[in-house]
Homo-oligomer: A and B are copies of this chain.
Amino acid sequence: MDRKSVVLELALRRKTVRKFGPEVPRREDVLYALEAAKEAPSGMNAQPWRFLVVDSPELKEMIRVACEAAERAFHAKVRGEWGEWLREKGFTPDKPFLTEAPYLILVFARAEAPFWLQSTWLAIGYVLLALEERGLSTVTYTPPDPKAIGELVGAPGGYKLQTILPVGLPADPKPKYQRKGLEEVVAFNRFPTEA
């Protein structure tokens, strides 16, 4: 492997995974990803992120129940392009990965410092690549009622739940969705004039 292309290889290999094998990865591999994440830059170096690693089966079950209740309410009202996409891809309010994954990483952000949301999601990019490097998979699941989940786990005041990352060994037959070609997303100096 060309050492100088590790990031690209990880990015190419990584796909979203919603089904996990029964093996429990080492906690240190999960923490590895958070060690990397906390080195990300942030507005005013505020490091607005807080990570909660959940492996208690009871707590995962409570999180799943709360998320699925909110999903049912969301699915009942979602319309348009997004609703069509969910139906077409076979998404339902059931989120079994929230109990099947050996770990859940709940990512919170303190909504105060400048660019707190941008900084936190940039750090989530680090998490995904670091997990992939250790052979772990995830999906950036965004619960429809983040506030309820934050209360369930005693999130500190002012911290907003951004995503739940279920983490485990991949056992999802779905292929990676295809990406656009580089020439479709990159231009030089000026965007070409659209006809």
Contacts and interface: CB of A to CB of B under 8 A. Distances in A.
Interface of A: 1, 3-8, 10-12, 14, 16, 31-41, 44-45, 47, 49-56, 59, 81-82, 85, 114-115, 117-119, 121-126, 128-130, 133-134, 139-140, 142, 153-156, 162-163, 177, 179-180, 182, 185-194
Contacts of A129: 7, 125-126, 129
A10 B31 CA distance: 16
Given A41-B128, A128-B41, A118 B117 contact: yes
A156 B124 contact: no
B31 A179 contact: no
A163 to B, nearest CB: 8
Contacts of A85: 44
Given A3-B3, A16-B41, A50-B187, 13 more contacts: A11-B126, A40-B125, A45-B177, A47-B179, A50-B185, A50-B186, A52-B189, A53-B189, A54-B188, A59-B189, A117-B121, A118-B140, A124-B125
B5 A32 contact: yes
Nearest to A138: B41
A35 B125 contact: no
A36 B52 contact: no
A180 B40 CA distance: 11
Contacts of A189: 52-56, 59, 153
B125 A187 contact: no
A123 B76 CA distance: 31
18 contacts: A3-B3, A7-B7, A7-B133, A8-B35, A11-B130, A16-B41, A38-B180, A47-B185, A50-B186, A52-B187, A53-B189, A55-B189, A59-B189, A59-B190, A118-B163, A123-B125, A126-B129, A153-B189
Nearest to A30: B186
Given A52-B187, A121-B121, A194 B36 contact: no
